[in-house]
Amino acid sequence: MKEKLDRLKELLAEITDMQRALALLGWDQQVYMPRGGAEDRGNILSTLSAIGHDMATTEELGELLEALKPYAATLDPDADDACIILRSARDYDRNRKVPTKYVAEFAKVTTLGQSAWEEAKKKSDFALFLPHLEKTIELRREYSSFFTPYDHVYDPLLEDFEPGLKTKDVQEVFAKLRPEQIKLIKAIKEKPQVDDSFLKLTYDQKGQWDFGVEVVKAFGFDFNRGRQDVSVHPFTTSFGIDDVRITTHFLPERVTSAIFSTMHEGGHAMYEQGVSQSLRRTLLASGASMAVHESQSRMWENLIGRSKPLWKHFFPRLQEIFPAQLKNVSLDTFYRAVNKVEPSLIRTEADEATYNLHIMLRMELEIALVEGSLQVKDLPLAWNARMQEFFGLTPPNDRKGVLQDVHWSGGMLGYFPTYALGNLISAQVWEKMNAQLPDVDAQIEKGNFAEILSWLQENIYRHGAKFEPQDIVQRVTESKIRPEPYMNYLNHKYSEVYDL
Amino acid sequence: MKEKLDRLKELLAEITDMQRALALLGWDQQVYMPRGGAEDRGNILSTLSAIGHDMATTEELGELLEALKPYAATLDPDADDACIILRSARDYDRNRKVPTKYVAEFAKVTTLGQSAWEEAKKKSDFALFLPHLEKTIELRREYSSFFTPYDHVYDPLLEDFEPGLKTKDVQEVFAKLRPEQIKLIKAIKEKPQVDDSFLKLTYDQKGQWDFGVEVVKAFGFDFNRGRQDVSVHPFTTSFGIDDVRITTHFLPERVTSAIFSTMHEGGHAMYEQGVSQSLRRTLLASGASMAVHESQSRMWENLIGRSKPLWKHFFPRLQEIFPAQLKNVSLDTFYRAVNKVEPSLIRTEADEATYNLHIMLRMELEIALVEGSLQVKDLPLAWNARMQEFFGLTPPNDRKGVLQDVHWSGGMLGYFPTYALGNLISAQVWEKMNAQLPDVDAQIEKGNFAEILSWLQENIYRHGAKFEPQDIVQRVTESKIRPEPYMNYLNHKYSEVYDL
């Protein structure tokens, strides 16, 4: 059995290596690739994706997993080896249902799609992106068909990001959440708006970069095992536990964008850097799911990053870097400003009270697209109609509307709900951590994040992808994913910010 | 036959894709990878190198090539398809002699070796690099053993960079060249030294970067199909004809380093960008050999980049960017300064008169290492002894001595001679171009490089790796590689600079 397990780990290590190489190809594509490189990059990604898929679906791998499953059942279910075998067996079964030809085509279509989207976004011209998105939706529908029977055509897409979660489960949670969020937004709307005009002054990019780096370094992001670059759409990716990359971006007249992006991606990255070294070069050397991942990025960005104690510590430093803009701004005014609630067009810039509505809008649309009840060509109209319904706003152009996010261009349908689920999980974990660590606020105020990070590492990060999302949430918080802690958190916070 | 040829091209396209991915992994390693990433990067490169090697040595590929060789013989020998088949057959035969296990190990050892070298160079501590280099030399000897019988143990290493060239050929050319170079250096030594003190002032990096970019843009490097970054050791790499990356570096107190590095790598890059689109996604979408490649980088850097006409055009612009340092410097003084001859420690900073001696030193040492007549542990002493013999200099430390170059850490033995051969070829090509284009100097003085680039594209770049190095040199210059044109060029130039 030992020999079989060793051989399994060898094969899994090679599959992991290939996934890391694909991640680098993707990172470079978004961060540094010149425009001319798109066509060849599509070919390279397509070829390597196909090879990776072949590696993940060999007969040998299947036989090893079959032989090892009974052995895994004899182990402590929390043991690395048990999780490696069972998680790999699950992945294997799913991968076997997808033809290699499909994988190659999907990689190529979405690589070209991403370039087309960039161009379309720059020119705010949906027509440039339309044929690519049509092809992508068609391919996603085909993907779901490999997993029939399913309860919902969206289930197999969701499963890729949230193992074990069904469309119905998410819809139920969102159905509970939505009226609560709308109630909160209404309550806030009746109060005088906070002043954030000073955030819209010009701040030089170097200062923003330096401050962001200083903050995530303090959080615990290890720059010897990672780095930050600039991309249109900030993201985190990992080429190994010891090489985790984050990106940020700069928005003119919105200094908070770079700062909170860096905190957000820093949260993702510390999760990746915190995975146990015993899981190195296995498929488990990553987060449990995108929602659990997002719970960490949103926790560092919002529950910590937009908290009063955080700014008690860091605001003087920010004032020092930007005296002209901030010297006459009080801590309290600044704190309210970074927590300003206002229905807005751009998801990534949305406040915590309205953010989840942006997600629900996207999830409804992408479900309609894969169901076929919405045609891709009608998507901009459908988007704008929902923006009006949800926020009372109409985007002035598609760049600030339907073209704002990268996800669909990369074929990542099923991804958006994980952001909102992540918000919910973040508050559940936060509640638990505060019950176990009595002085979290005081630690943050002192700029001391070591104990917080170490609690998260111990309870979440080190496990990597050993457990399914609902299982790790249950394990940490003694409950499945639920909306109440998040709404409690929001209601409590905004009572203070807006004197509700 | 058509079907077989299509299938061959499909397989070759996939092999090319894999090589491009490996190139990206290498580029990132040298340009952006955090230190922590080295171990995983070694694994990834090792796994992908092995897969790439497997792809390049399948039975199917061998059978296709065997079946297609007779067909290739019926074609015009210059036809793309003929060259693709015959070049791929040659590569295939060589690759089949090398076990995949060897390829994986070599990739891993040299990836770790490169990290160790960086550290060793930084600390100027050869001992940190010693065990890695020992392992690398051992692996290179093993590599040669796959190609027995050979005339010389160094032949198979040289063959990887210069198909068709033998150690003996190179030694013969160098034997003719060496006394000529030494004679020139002696003659210069008797003349008063030129003044280059103003080049050693402080120049800000942004100005150096901007000027370099302006120059290579004028040369014809297409930034829509490439980009420049910073690395310790400047280099060029390609992820496709339309995605060619160059790097540069900044040396404090030597403004010319970044500028001429950028011109040098720009020359490599224009070669890669100039390959015919009909060779896209084939193994021929690259240069004919490293020497031919180097002939282009050295031509743009030296024959054009250090010429009087070039600086007639660009010096006013450089003065504009750096008025404090250059406003009182005359064009003539500047021209002499960038052509100053002085025995020196660092190859990449060496002038044209002494450069080839740096190469001969390295070639002698690496031949001794693979022959086994020199032990790796004795390399620093041997280096310093030869530096004394060749230049009358002793490096103050290993950083400025044996540790200065990246090549050995990456296992690139057999590469150094290509630099000197490149110098020779550059002058041969230059002579021919000047015979065919009557007003090259006048064009350069006007900052007009289009005609020069287009001549090079037509005669060299578009062919990619269709022809072996001696064949393309013969085709363009009607002679094999020979030292006379280069010595003529040097003697002519330095007669002017030093009033010989």
What's the CA gap between A3 and B416, in Å, rounded?
Answer: 45
* Model confidence band, residue B6 (pLDDT cutoffs 50, 70, 90): very high
Neighbours of A173 (CB within 10 A): 19
**Residues in A touching B43 (Cβ below 8 Å):** 13, 17, 281
What's the CA gap between B287 and B265, in Å, rounded?
Answer: 13
Q: Please report the pLDDT score of residue A252 as a whole number.
A: 78
Residue A24 and residue B28: Cβ atoms within 8 Å? yes
- Residue tagged 């908290």 (tokens): A307
What's the CA gap between B278 and B462, in Å, rounded?
Answer: 9
> Which residues, in sequence order, are CB contacts of A50 under 8 Å at separation 6+?
A100, A101, A103, A104, A107
Residue B18 and residue A47: Cβ atoms within 8 Å? yes
Query: What are the distances in angstroms from CA B176 to CA A236, B179, B183, B305, B427?
Result: 56, 7, 12, 27, 16
Residue B36 and residue A280: Cβ atoms within 8 Å? no
Give the tokens for residue A173.
């949670």
**Residues in A touching B40 (Cβ below 8 Å):** 20, 239-243, 280-281
- Residue tagged 């310093």 (tokens): B384
For the segment A165-220, what is each residue's pLDDT rounded down to a tens digit? 999 999 999 999 999 999 999 999 999 999 999 999 999 999 999 999 999 999 99
Q: Please report the pLDDT score of residue A227 as a whole number.
A: 98
**Count, residues in chain B:** 500
pLDDT above 90 for B7? yes
Strands A236-238 and B226-230: unpaired
Query: What are the distances in angstroms from CA B453 to CA B74, B216, B322, B430, B434?
Result: 33, 12, 29, 12, 13
A105 contacts A46 by C-beta, under 8 angstroms: yes
Nearest to A275 by CA among A263, A292, A287: A287
What's the CA gap between A478 and A488, in Å, rounded?
Answer: 17
B126 contacts B375 by C-beta, under 8 angstroms: no
**Count, residues in chain A:** 500
Q: Which of residues 207-236 of A touch B (CB under 8 A)?
A: 222-227, 229
- The three-point CA angle A386-A390-A394 to 5° equals 60
Give the tokens for residue B313.
């055009």
Amino acid identity at A252: P
Sheet holding A236-238, edge to edge: A226-230, A244-248, A236-238
Q: Please report the pLDDT score of residue A348 as a whole number.
A: 85
Neighbours of B486 (CB within 10 A): 28
Residue A225 and residue B32: Cβ atoms within 8 Å? no
Residue B37 and residue A243: Cβ atoms within 8 Å? yes
* Model confidence band, residue A253 (pLDDT cutoffs 50, 70, 90): confident
> Which residues, in sequence order, are CB contacts of A374 under 8 Å at separation 6+?
A365, A368, A382
Neighbours of B158 (CB within 10 A): 24
B331 contacts B311 by C-beta, under 8 angstroms: yes
Strand partners, A245: A227, A237
Residue from the list B47, B225, B241 with its beta carbon closest to the beta carbon of A17: B47
pLDDT above 80 for B252? no
Cα atoms in the Cβ-side hemisphere of radius 13 Å centred on A173: 25
Q: How many CB pairs under 8 A join A and B?
A: 118
Q: What is the pTM of this model?
A: 0.93
Neighbours of B138 (CB within 10 A): 13
Q: Please report the pLDDT score of residue B110 as a whole number.
A: 93
> CB contact, 8 Å: B20 with chain A?
yes
3-state secondary structure of B149: coil
Amino acid identity at A412: M
B256-285 average pLDDT score:
96
Give the tokens for residue A221.
């992001």
Q: Please report the pLDDT score of residue A477 as a whole number.
A: 97
> CB contact, 8 Å: A160 with chain B?
no
A430-458 average pLDDT score:
97
Using a 10 angstrom Cβ sphere, with 0-12 exposed, 13-18 middle and 19 or more buried, the burial of residue B238 is buried
Write down the H helix ranges in B124-166: 126-145, 155-161
Residue A44 and residue B239: Cβ atoms within 8 Å? yes
Q: Please report the pLDDT score of residue A232 as a whole number.
A: 84
Give the tokens for residue A395.
């985007």
Q: Please report the pLDDT score of residue A201 as a whole number.
A: 94
Q: Please report the pLDDT score of residue A88 as a whole number.
A: 95
> CB contact, 8 Å: A285 with chain B?
no
For the segment A73-101, what is each residue's pLDDT rounded down to a tens digit? 999 999 999 999 999 999 999 999 999 89
B48 contacts A18 by C-beta, under 8 angstroms: yes
Indicate the DSSP class of residue A194.
P
- Residue tagged 């209601």 (tokens): A491
Query: What are the distances in angstroms from CA B387 to CA B123, B384, B396?
Result: 21, 5, 11
- B141: phi > 0 → left, psi -120 to 50 → alpha, else beta; which? alpha
> CB contact, 8 Å: A14 with chain B?
yes
* Model confidence band, residue A270 (pLDDT cutoffs 50, 70, 90): very high
Q: Please report the pLDDT score of residue A265 as a whole number.
A: 98
CA dihedral A315, A319, A321, A325 (to 10 degrees): 130
Q: Residue B44's closest chain A neighbor by CA?
A: A17
Nearest to A306 by CA among A497, A500, A499: A497
Q: How far is CA A414 from the centre of its chain?
A: 12
Phi, psi of B236 (to 5 degrees): -125, 140
Nearest to A37 by CA among A136, A112, A103: A112
Residue from the list A21, A40, A227 with its beta carbon closest to the beta carbon of B34: A227
Indicate the DSSP class of residue A419.
H
Lowest-pLDDT range, A105-109, A317-321, B71-75, B423-427?
A105-109
What's the CA gap between A314 and A259, in Å, rounded?
Answer: 12
B231 contacts B249 by C-beta, under 8 angstroms: yes
> CB contact, 8 Å: A48 with chain B?
yes
pLDDT above 90 for A381? yes
> CB contact, 8 Å: B33 with chain A?
yes
Average pLDDT over all residues of chain B: 96
What's the CA gap between B228 and B223, in Å, rounded?
Answer: 8
Q: How far is CA A55 from the centre of its chain?
A: 27
Residue A43 and residue B13: Cβ atoms within 8 Å? yes
pLDDT above 80 for B315? yes
Strand partners, A202: none
Average pLDDT over all residues of chain A: 96
- The three-point CA angle B360-B365-B370 to 5° equals 125
In angstroms, how far is the first alpha carbon of chain B from the final one?
A: 63
* Model confidence band, residue A372 (pLDDT cutoffs 50, 70, 90): very high
A419 contacts A285 by C-beta, under 8 angstroms: no
Give the tokens for residue A104.
């190659």
A386 contacts A252 by C-beta, under 8 angstroms: no
B393-404 average pLDDT score:
96
Interface with chain B: mutation pick from A242, A244, A245, highest number of B CBs within 10 Å: A242
Q: Please report the pLDDT score of residue B254 as a whole number.
A: 86
Q: Please report the pLDDT score of residue A336 as a whole number.
A: 97
What's the CA gap between A88 and B98, in Å, rounded?
Answer: 33
**Residues in B touching A222 (Cβ below 8 Å):** 36
Give pairs for A143-150: CB < 8 Å, separation 24+: A143/A98, A143/A102, A143/A106, A144/A370, A146/A97, A146/A98, A146/A99, A146/A102, A147/A94, A147/A97
